[in-house]
Amino acid sequence: MIGKLLPNENEIVLELGSGLGFFAVILYYLLHKNIQLHLVEIENTSNFNSEFNYKMDQNNTNALNNDHILPLKLLKEFLDLNKVKAKIYSPEELKESNLKNINFVYSFRSYCFLYKIEEYAKFLSHGMANDGKILCDASKQKKQNIKFKEEFFYKKTIAESDAFERIYAMKNFSIGYN
């Protein structure tokens, strides 16, 4: 099912919340390297979920809690290891970039989950091609997902669980973030 929704060769592709980049590597080689990959990941986890970290520190139940993961660094290393060419951004760098005409955006367990839709709505409204498509996982519990669903004119839930739904959508030509 998802295979039919994947981007075509020679398209500009953006992944939000890349993790180590497993899917990016597969997509890159599946499309015979004929793709412009742009990946977004946080630089470090030091401020990520700080309320949870504070509670864990108070209870001294997690000895590894003070160790911080550097996702952006790990992503770059993994892509280099697999010889994948991609432009990599932190969320802040993406917002300031001139990336335009994005044909396909995907995000599994990040878009509307780790990152709020408001973080990307303005960028996507100006950066996506008119025929741009999104394939993402969204939490059913978050109110901002209502805003996501209002921003795109074709939406289809292609898989779901109790907490998440995988959504396929196309860009709405009348997105109004100024």
Domain spans of the chain? 9-99, 104-178
Query: How confident is the model over 98-144, as pLDDT tens digits?
Result: 899 999 998 887 655 555 656 676 777 778 888 888 888 777 766 65
Answer with the residue of higher pLDDT: 151 or 117.
Answer: 151
Alpha carbons 76 and 44: distance in angstroms, whole number:
13
pLDDT digits 0-9 by tens, 110-123: 655 555 656 676 77
Global pTM value: 0.78
Q: Could you tell me which of 176, 170, 174 has the C-alpha nearest to residue 102?
A: 170
Question: pLDDT: is 63 or 115 the higher one?
Answer: 115
pLDDT classification of 32: cutoffs 50, 70, 90: confident
Instruction: Report helix, strand or coil for 7.
Output: coil
Rounded distance between C-alpha atoms, residue 172 and residue 154, angstroms: 8
Is pLDDT at 159 greater than 90 in this prediction? no
Report d(CA 52, CA 63) in Å as an integer.
14
Tens digits of residue pLDDT in 86-95: 999 988 898 8
Query: Could you give the residue ranges of the DSSP H alpha helices within 16-151?
Result: 22-30, 50-59, 71-81, 91-96, 117-127, 144-151
